[in-house]
Structure 1
Amino acid sequence: MHMQWFSIVAIYGLFWVLSAFLVMPFGLRTPHEEGETVEKGHADSAPVNFRPGKIVLRASLLAAVFFALYYANYVNGWITLEDLNFFGKPPVEDLGY
């Protein structure tokens, strides 16, 4: 099977956004954890060591892993839509035609 390049970019982008939200909280420290004082007007939970470059790198790597697993399943068909149908086929109603 062959996947179109636009589908690859779109699916990788979805995995990247998901991955960014998954990796964002790791490694962040609040002012209280660092022993710093919180300035007036700042949130107590605002991180003092926010590094967006590190988040982008981690999210890109995790998204690549997710996409590789997705593409391997797409090619090999390990999990199909029929495997995810937990309720069986819907009943066929007699419509009287």
Structure 2
Amino acid sequence: MRFTSLLAIYFLFWFLSLFVVLPFGVRTSDEMGKDRVPGQADSAPHEFRPWRIILRTSVVAAILFGLFYANYVNGWITVRSFDAIFSPPAEFAE
């Protein structure tokens, strides 16, 4: 597989991981016991830390990508693995 394909797949895993990681560790102003800024939504985080989110997302994406690449190299799960699930019944097969 080419490097550009690997990079594109990593970024797909990265953005998927971003939406998984984003809600973890968020504390609202009410949970922190602090006053809210006027106009602030009730669910808004008290302190937004983008670098922490980027780091967590990168770690999760690297783990998922590593599993994907190991499967690609070793062929643990292939399209043929799903033949029993998605193949038509014998009476409809040609």
Which runs of structure 2 are paired with 1:1-97 in the superposition (5 Å)? 3-85=1-83, 86-89=85-88, 91=92
Q: Distance in 1 between matches of 2:88 and 2:65?
A: 30
Q: Which amino acid aligns with 2:19?
A: F
Q: Distance in 2 between matches of 1:89 and 1:75?
A: 29
Aligned residue pair count: 91
What TM-score does the superposition give when structure 1 sets the normalisation length?
Answer: 0.84
Moved more, 36-45 or 12-21: 36-45
- Structure 2 unaligned regions, length at least 5: none
Over 2 Å off, 4+ runs: 37-40, 89-93
Q: Which has the higher helix share?
A: 2
What TM-score does the superposition give when structure 2 sets the normalisation length?
Answer: 0.87
Identity of aligned residues (%): 54
